[in-house]
Each structure stands twice: as structure tokens, then as C-alpha cells.
Amino acid sequence: MATPERRTAPGTPAVPAAAPVAAGPVPVMAPFGWLLILVSGIGLILATWLLYGNEYDGMWAGYRDGIIGTVVVLCAMALNTTLPHQPILGLLGVCGILLILFAVFLDNDTVVFVSELVAGVVLLAGVGLYSSGRHR
């Protein structure tokens, strides 16, 4: 009888060295989402100072959007801490939806409409990108 022959060399590993990597979150999405969140908050605050008028509608829109912009900037800074991210992202999502609803349903100047709508859309896009880029 013949002796069995070894098919692989003794130093060859059973598993290939370059195993395929499982698909995970893209590492660029979360920082870009955070940047969009921060830019929308800062842009909304600057719009209340620079673009809104001094009449009745501009004044109340400035108060409303200034508060929302401040909350957005504070939440963006809180995303860089060890606090849980889900409640903060939920609050940011609510702020984005409120901005879009204020833009669509309140009768304001064109400048207020455009700034609220753009800030709301950018904020929701940032929340979506941030939450898709992190899985914790």
C-alpha cells in the first residue's frame, strides 16, 4: 500500500491570509454628517442676525430660528462626547422637521422661508449621514 500524500505544504495556513472584510459603516459618513449638522446650526444663527428684517415677522422668526440654531449647535457639540447619540440625533431630527414645517406653513418673507427650508433639509441630511456612519 502507498502512503497518503500531504496535499499542502506544512507551513501553509488553512485559511487564506487576506480574508474578505465584512461590509460595515463607511468611516467618512459620520464626520461629514456632523459637519452638515454644525454648518446648518451656525448658518441658521447667522441668518437670524444678518438676513432677517427688524419688523414683526422677522423679529419672531429670528427668535424662533435663533433658539433652534443654538440647540442644533449644542447638540452637535454633544455628539462629540460620551453621551448616548440616539436621543441627541432624535432631537436634531425634530429640529430639522420643525424648520421645514415652519418654512412651509408660516407666512414669512422669502429670506426666512429659504433659510429655514435649507437649514432643515441640510440638518436632516446631516442626521441621516451621521446615523448611517456609526453603529454603536
19 in any annotated domain? no
24 in any annotated domain? no
| Confidence band, pLDDT 50/70/90 cuts, at residue 56 | confident
120 in any annotated domain? yes
Between 92 and 1, residue with greater pLDDT: 92
Model-wide pTM > 0.85: no
How many folded domains does the chain comprise? 1
Residue 113 has pLDDT above 90, yes or no: yes
Q: What would the pLDDT profile of 14-37 be if each residue is shown by its tens digit?
A: 665 565 666 665 677 888 999 999
43 in any annotated domain? yes
92 in any annotated domain? yes
- Domain carrying residue 70: 29-133
94 in any annotated domain? yes
Per-residue HEC secondary structure of the chain comes to CCCCCCCCCCCCCCCCCCCCCCCCCCCCHHHHHHHHHHHHHHHHHHHHHHCCCCCHHHHHHHHHHHHHHHHHHHHHHHCCCCCCHHHHHHHHHHHHHHHHHHHHHCCCCHHHHHHHHHHHHHHHHHHHHHHHHCCC
90 in any annotated domain? yes
Q: What is the mean pLDDT of the chain?
A: 86
